[in-house]
Amino acid sequence: MSHVYEVSHFLAGLMLVCSFALLYQDRLLAVLRIFAAQAIILSLAVSWEAWTQGRPHLFITAALALVLKGIVIPIILQRFILQLGIHRDIEKVVGVVLTMLIGLGLAAMSQMLIIGATTGAPAQAREGLAIALAIILIGLLMMITRRNAFTQIIGFMSIENGLILAATGARGMPLVVEISVAFSVLIALFVFAVFVFRIRERFDTVDVEALERVRGDQP
């Protein structure tokens, strides 16, 4: 087992653990911290790839992940949460046990899928892809199961973490695309934030369940 592989396996594994922690955690600020930790681990993983594979442009990706998702976005979201005064809220997560089991199933499924689909590819790329797919699916699961608008945003952002991890492993994504993805996520954050504030203004909560009431099909 090579040294290079071990470290990248370790970092990717930690990111997967962070994903599960996101799925489990019900305190808003703690969710935010875990997300920041995941982004920081992502930037470490990307820099490790850049260092060991001699692809210096990946350092830019790592720096983007660190600065935008590890520092800027969590700080902005934290300020929003404090402004809205919901930092002490504990979200009612429905069926944690079932959600976690589905998450485990998704992780196992993405592994089987990637292992089957990528025979012959280098070990690091296969491993990165398998874990990245798991992180993406768990992010989607988090967006489905959560009812709080903020945790849904964080689920979306963690999907993007998985995408970057997949892209660095697969030696594919050009730098331009990466930078534009990073900035579109930042822009998405502001769009989300505007919507969250609007929802809050109108319904006095950030629970998206409240939106169900304005659907036309219900009396």
Partner 1 sequence: MSDALLSFIGQGCQMLLVLLVAPAVTGLTRLVKARLMRRKGPPLLQVYSDLIKLVRKEAVVADSASWLFRVAPYLIFALTWVAASLVPTFATGLLFSWTGDVIVIIALLGSARFFLALAGMDVGTSFGGIGSSREMMIATLAEPAMLLVVLNMALAAGTTQLPEVAKYFIAAPLAIRVSLALALVALVIVALAENARIPVDNPATHLELTMVHEAMVLEYSGRHLAMIEAASQLKLVLYISLIASLFLPFGIMPVTAGPLAWATAGLAWLAKLAGAAIILGVWELSIAKMRVFRVSEFLGGAFIFAFLAILLSFLTQEVLR
Binding residues for partner 1, per CB under 8 A? 1, 5-7, 9-10, 13-14, 16-17, 20, 24, 96-97, 100, 104, 107-108, 111, 115, 123, 126-127, 130-131
Least separation in angstroms between CB 132 and partner 1: 12
Identity of the residue, 116 or 219, whose beta carbon is nearer to partner 1 in the bound complex = 116
3-class SS of residue 207: strand
Identity of the residue, 45 or 185, whose beta carbon is nearer to partner 1 in the bound complex = 45
Q: Write down the residue that tokens 């169900």 correspond to.
A: 212
Least separation in angstroms between CB 5 and partner 1: 7
Identity of the residue, 84 or 100, whose beta carbon is nearer to partner 1 in the bound complex = 100
Least separation in angstroms between CB 58 and partner 1: 21
Least separation in angstroms between CB 56 and partner 1: 25
Identity of the residue, 129 or 154, whose beta carbon is nearer to partner 1 in the bound complex = 129
Least separation in angstroms between CB 6 and partner 1: 5
Identity of the residue, 1 or 187, whose beta carbon is nearer to partner 1 in the bound complex = 1
> How far apart (Å, rounded) are the C-alpha atoms in residues 16 and 10?
10
What are residue 90's DSSP bridge partners?
27
The answer to whether 59 and 22 have CB atoms below 8 angstroms apart is no
Interacting residues of 142 by C-beta distance below 8 A, sequence separation 6+: 22, 23, 151, 152, 154, 155, 158
The answer to whether 158 and 102 have CB atoms below 8 angstroms apart is no
- Sequence-ordered alpha helix ranges (H) in the chain: 3-24, 28-53, 57-64, 73-84, 96-117, 123-145, 149-169, 175-203
